[in-house]
């Protein structure tokens, strides 16, 4: 039951992420990306990680993708307005894609060696346990990532300020 459900959701994830790439209209792409993120939420729920599931739901679907859609609607890009890409860009794209394939193949080869992922405790993903682990065992990475986010925020505010001065 559980394993077939996983394969079904995994199939949906891959299907919708392919649609993200293949749809011509940027707004349709973003909408498919939202559905893809929703399937991620389903994956988290199947791992019994309720907190991560709902945070993924709020942050990715509720905030980041709304901003993506907002920007796309503001610019109102169409198929024609993007224009054709130069040969140099295409070459760079091919090289980057090759690198990604090599990495993916490498990781798939390493998959057999490592242990299969098994949940140590079923309640690991609940808010209480996650909070306890974050504030004791992983305190330093947690605080460091918060500093990283803060610096990104300061950077964004600075960029926005610069625009106002010029205009």
Partner 1 sequence: MELAFIIEKFALILVIFVISLTVAAYSTLAERKIAGFLQDRVGPNRAGPGGMFQPLADGLKMFFKEEIIPTESSKALFILGPSLALFTSFLGSAVIPWGQDIEIAGRQVSLQITDINVGVLYIFGVVSLGVYGIMIGGWASNNKFSLMGAVRAASQSISYEIPLGLSIIALLMLTNTLSMKEIAEQQHGINWNIFYQPLGFLIFLICSFAETNRTPFDLPECETELVGGYHTEYSGFKMGAYMFAEYLNMFLASAVMSTLYFGAYNYPGMDWVNEMTGAVIGPLIGMAVLMLKIFAFIFLFMWVRWTIPRFRYDQLMNLGWKILIPLAIANIVITGIVITIIDKL
**32: how many CB neighbours lie within 10 A of its CB?**
19
Q: CA distances (Å), 105 to each of 14, 48, 93, 108, in order? A: 17, 29, 18, 5
Question: Could you say whether residue 66 binds partner 1 (CB under 8 A)?
Answer: yes
Q: Is 158 in the site for partner 1 (CB under 8 A)?
A: no
Among 9, 40, 62, 77, binds partner 1 (CB under 8 A): 62
DSSP 118: -
Q: How far is the CB of 55 from partner 1 (least distance, A)?
A: 7
CA triple 94-97-103, angle to 5 deg? 145
Q: Is the CB of residue 11 less than 8 Å from the CB of residue 43?
A: no
Task: Give the interface segment with partner 1, choosing from 57-65, 89-97, 100-108, 114-122 (CB under 8 A).
Answer: 57-65
Q: Does 40 bind partner 1 (CB under 8 A)?
A: no
By the criterion CB under 8 A, which residues form the site for partner 1? 27, 31, 34, 50-51, 54-55, 57-58, 61-63, 66-67, 69-70, 73-74, 76, 126-127
């Amino acid at each position: 039951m559980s394993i077939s459900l996983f394969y079904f959701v995994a199939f949906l994830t891959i299907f919708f992420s392919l649609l993200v790439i293949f749809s011509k209209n940027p707004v349709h792409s973003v909408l498919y990306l939202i559905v893809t993120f929703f399937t991620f939420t389903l994956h988290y729920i199947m791992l019994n990680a309720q907190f991560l599931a709902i945070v993924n739901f709020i942050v990715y679907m509720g905030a980041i993708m709304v901003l993506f859609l907002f920007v796309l609607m503001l610019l109102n890009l169409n198929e024609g307005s993007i224009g054709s890409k130069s040969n140099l860009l295409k070459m760079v794209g091919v090289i980057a894609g090759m690198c990604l394939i090599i990495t993916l193949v490498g990781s798939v080869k390493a998959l057999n060696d490592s242990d299969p992922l098994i949940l140590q405790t079923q309640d690991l993903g609940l808010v209480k346990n996650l909070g306890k682990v974050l504030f004791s065992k992983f305190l330093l990475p947690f605080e460091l990532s918060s500093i990283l986010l803060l610096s990104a925020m300061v950077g964004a505010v600075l960029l926005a300020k610069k625009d106002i001065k010029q205009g």
